[in-house]
């Protein structure tokens, strides 16, 4: 096969030198961490909509991207050619997985039948390539937000014909998921929310989308698709309020409608930030609910208010996210999907290579540091010590369900304030943060 992309396969070169770009400094696919190869923990994935389709637009400017497939003018020819580029990119980046929306792959026709036929031609080629290369589909999804018909949402559209269209579209996407062995199936509620409360029947829309999800689960059973369903929370944008605001809101929704046995969460760094949370916060709450499914590994920008989908480069964040990830035992049916794009001024193909390398090294570095934090039981020790007063006495009685408010009253009623405060300890936040810095420096620098 002649090379379409003019760069060599990226290799692990270790912690040598300062300048990035010559190879992976921290991602060593075959190296074992916590008894498992790094590539089996991390399961990196290329996002088709960004890496193959994104023109690097922003709300104020046209696309700047220069791509080798731009010269192919026929839309179907270009769609088919991009599949070759994708698979070569996966090979050269040493990435085993990819993810897509149905509409990322092929142009729409005049009817859903025509659209499906265009899509299936590309799926035929993808299936063939997967077979030849062993690359895998991390997840697929349907785009229910770009086309004008979805201006008020898909599964929460107030218009029944649009709602029906959304259902028909998902049906075909699930057939594709089954055919390609997709590990998960994602619902990101792009316009599933509202712009204006007073023209929206929120209860009716939530009932609709919950029933819609149930139909998806039923259809998956009917066709024998066994992948994990995922909801991807985001607080707003493009709607002013998205129903799946953040992890805790999505968990409450799933439990309210009895969907928590069939769905988990796909959590994204930039979405966490837009919701006013850290990324590790979102991952923590999903993990504790037993609903951590997959990660869209990207970053927000503290100075820009919108979803910028930057490639991850923050090792402090990746360390804390990977710590939660390790406590979860990794992501059996998920991975780290780079829902990320280079900056608008990084318009060359080379920037896609460098962006993925940055993301992969950032999470590989995070995994290494998190593994050491886990081995040393550093955070575990802090928590055990901080809550130790619940291990005996009144605290233990309470946790065992043996106390009533009257028992608390008896216990404290005559104690002087100094006695109550005696066992209150400093949270030592400054020391802990600084210790995490030391872990990062020592684990990554000490070679
Ligand atoms: C949008 C976003 C989506 C989902 C898939 O903010 O994150 O690309 O990941 O629909
Ligand atoms: Co995403």
Q: What is the pLDDT of residues 313-323, one digit of tens each?
A: 999 999 999 99
Q: What is the pLDDT of residues 125-159, one digit of tens each?
A: 999 999 999 999 999 999 999 999 999 999 999 99
Statement: residue 1 has pLDDT above 70: no
Q: What is the pLDDT of residue 16?
A: 82
46-83 burial by CB neighbour count: b if 16+ within 10 A, else e? bbbbbbbbbebeeeeeeebbebeeeeeeeeeebbbbbb
Other residues' Cβ atoms within 10 Å of the Cβ of residue 423: 9
Q: Which two tokens stand for residue 102?
A: 């149905």
Q: Judge if the beta carbon of residue 102 lies within 6 A of ligand 1.
A: no
Cα 298 to middle of ligand 2, angstroms: 8
Q: Judge if the beta carbon of residue 285 lies within 6 A of ligand 1.
A: no
Q: Which two tokens stand for residue 352?
A: 């896609």
Output the DSSP codes for 142-210: ---SSSGGGTT-STT-S-HHHHHHHHHHHHHHHHHHHHHT-SEEEEE-TT-EES-GGG--HHHHHHHHH
Q: What is the pLDDT of residue 146?
A: 98
| Residue range 5-17: mean pLDDT, rounded | 94
Statement: residue 447 has pLDDT above 90: no
Atom of ligand 1 nearest to the CA of 141: 10
Q: What is the pLDDT of residues 328-366, one digit of tens each?
A: 999 999 999 999 999 999 999 999 999 999 999 999 999
Whether the CB-CB separation of 46 and 97 falls below 8 Å is answered with yes
User: Among residues 199, 206, 108, 226, which one has the least CA distance to residue 155?
Assistant: 206
Q: What is the pLDDT of residue 2?
A: 72
Query: What span, in angstroms and rounded, lies between the C-alpha atoms of 313 and 419?
Result: 47
Confidence of residue 310 (pLDDT cuts 50, 70, 90): very high
Cα 66 to middle of ligand 1, angstroms: 23
Query: What span, in angstroms and rounded, lies between the C-alpha atoms of 289 and 274?
Result: 22
Kindly state the helix (H) or strand (E) to which residue 283 belongs, with its residue range: helix 279-288
Report the chain's terminal Cα–Cα distance, integer Å. Answer: 38
Q: What is the pLDDT of residue 444?
A: 96
For the chain, percent of residues with pLDDT exceeding 70: 99
What value, to the nearest 5°, has the Cα angle with vertex 256 and ends 251 and 261? 65
- The alpha carbon torsion through 104, 107, 110, 112 (nearest 10 deg) reads -40
Q: Which ligand is nearest to the CA of 306?
A: 1
Q: Which residues, in sequence order, are bridge partners of residue 294?
A: 266
Statement: residue 17 has pLDDT above 90: no
User: Among residues 188, 192, 184, which one has the least CA distance to residue 208?
Assistant: 192
Cα 103 to middle of ligand 1, angstroms: 13
Q: Judge if the beta carbon of residue 192 lies within 6 A of ligand 1.
A: no
What value, to the nearest 5°, has the Cα angle with vertex 21 and ends 18 and 24? 85
Whether the CB-CB separation of 65 and 345 falls below 8 Å is answered with no
How big is the chain by its Cα radius of gyration, in Å? Answer: 24
What value, to the nearest 5°, has the Cα angle with vertex 337 and ends 252 and 50? 110
**Helix 247-256 vs helix 279-288: crossing angle, to nearest 10:** 30
Atom of ligand 1 nearest to the CA of 188: 10
User: Among residues 263, 326, 273, 254, which one has the least CA distance to residue 293?
Assistant: 263
Q: What is the pLDDT of residue 446?
A: 63
Q: What is the pLDDT of residue 218?
A: 99
| Residue 419, C-beta contacts closer than 8 angstroms, at least 6 positions apart | none
Q: Which two tokens stand for residue 38?
A: 């790094």
Q: What is the pLDDT of residues 23-54, one digit of tens each?
A: 999 999 999 999 999 999 999 999 999 999 99
Cα 295 to middle of ligand 2, angstroms: 8
Cα 3 to middle of ligand 2, angstroms: 30
What value, to the nearest 5°, has the Cα angle with vertex 212 and ends 332 and 337? 30
Q: What is the pLDDT of residue 87?
A: 98
Residues with CB under 5 A from ligand 2 (ion): 268, 296, 339
Q: Which residues, in sequence order, are bridge partners of residue 228?
A: 184
Atom of ligand 1 nearest to the CA of 268: 7
Q: What is the pLDDT of residue 273?
A: 97
Confidence of residue 367 (pLDDT cuts 50, 70, 90): very high
Whether the CB-CB separation of 42 and 97 falls below 8 Å is answered with no
For the chain, percent of residues with pLDDT exceeding 90: 98
| Residue range 201-209: mean pLDDT, rounded | 98
User: Which residues are part of the catalytic machinery?
Assistant: 101, 104
Q: What is the pLDDT of residue 305?
A: 87
Kindly state the helix (H) or strand (E) to which residue 141 belongs, with its residue range: strand 136-141
- The alpha carbon torsion through 304, 310, 316, 317 (nearest 10 deg) reads 90
Q: Which residues, in sequence order, are bridge partners of residue 97?
A: 45, 136
Pocket test for ligand 1, best of 143, 266, 296, 308 (most atoms within 8 A of CB): 296
Q: Which two tokens stand for residue 369?
A: 């540091």
CA atoms lying within 13 Å on the CB side of residue 275: 25
Q: What is the pLDDT of residues 63-121, one digit of tens each?
A: 999 999 999 999 999 999 999 999 999 999 999 999 999 999 999 999 999 999 999 99
Q: Judge if the beta carbon of residue 140 lies within 6 A of ligand 1.
A: no
């Amino acid at each position: 096969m002649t090379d379409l992309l003019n760069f060599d396969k990226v290799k692990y070169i270790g912690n040598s030198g300062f300048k990035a770009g010559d190879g992976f400094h921290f991602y060593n696919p075959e190296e074992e961490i916590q008894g498992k190869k790094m590539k089996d923990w991390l399961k990196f994935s290329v996002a088709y909509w960004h890496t193959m389709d994104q023109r690097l637009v922003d709300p104020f400017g046209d696309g700047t991207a220069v791509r080798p497939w731009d010269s192919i003018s026929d839309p179907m020819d270009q769609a088919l050619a991009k599949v070759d580029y994708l698979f070569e990119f996966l090979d050269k980046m040493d990435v085993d997985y990819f993810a897509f929306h149905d509409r990322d792959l092929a142009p729409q026709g005049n009817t859903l039948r025509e659209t499906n036929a265009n899509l299936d031609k590309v799926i035929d080629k993808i299936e063939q390539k997967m077979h030849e290369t062993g690359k895998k589909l991390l997840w697929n999804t349907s785009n229910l937000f770009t086309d004008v018909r979805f201006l008020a949402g898909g599964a929460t559209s107030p218009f029944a014909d649009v709602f029906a269209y959304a259902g028909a579209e998902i049906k075909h996407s699930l057939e594709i998921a089954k055919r390609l062995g997709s590990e998960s199936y994602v619902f990101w509620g792009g316009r599933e929310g509202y712009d204006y409360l007073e023209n929206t029947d929120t209860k009716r829309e939530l009932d609709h989308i919950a029933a819609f999800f149930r139909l998806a689960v039923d259809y998956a059973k009917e066709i024998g698709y066994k992948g994990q369903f995922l909801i991807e929370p985001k607080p707003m944008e493009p709607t002013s309020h998205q129903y799946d605001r953040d992890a805790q809101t999505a968990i409450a929704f799933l439990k309210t409608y009895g969907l928590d046995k069939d769905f988990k969460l796909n959590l994204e760094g930039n979405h966490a930030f837009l919701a006013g949370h850290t990324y590790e916060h979102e991952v923590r709450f999903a993990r504790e609910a037993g609903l951590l499914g997959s990660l869209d590994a990207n970053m927000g920008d503290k100075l820009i208010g919108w979803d910028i989908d930057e490639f991850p480069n923050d090792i402090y964040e990746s360390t804390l996210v990977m710590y939660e990830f390790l406590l979860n035992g990794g992501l059996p049916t998920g991975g780290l999907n780079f829902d990320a794009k280079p900056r608008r001024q990084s318009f060359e193909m080379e920037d896609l290579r460098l962006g993925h390398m940055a993301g992969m090294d950032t999470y590989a570095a995070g995994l290494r540091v998190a593994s050491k934090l886990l081995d040393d039981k550093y955070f575990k020790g802090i928590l055990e010590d901080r809550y130790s007063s619940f291990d005996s006495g009144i605290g233990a009685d309470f946790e065992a369900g043996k106390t009533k408010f009257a028992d608390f009253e008896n216990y404290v009623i005559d104690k002087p304030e100094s006695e109550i405060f005696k066992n209150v300890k400093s949270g030592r936040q400054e020391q802990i943060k600084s210790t995490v810095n030391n872990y990062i420096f020592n684990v990554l620098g000490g070679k």
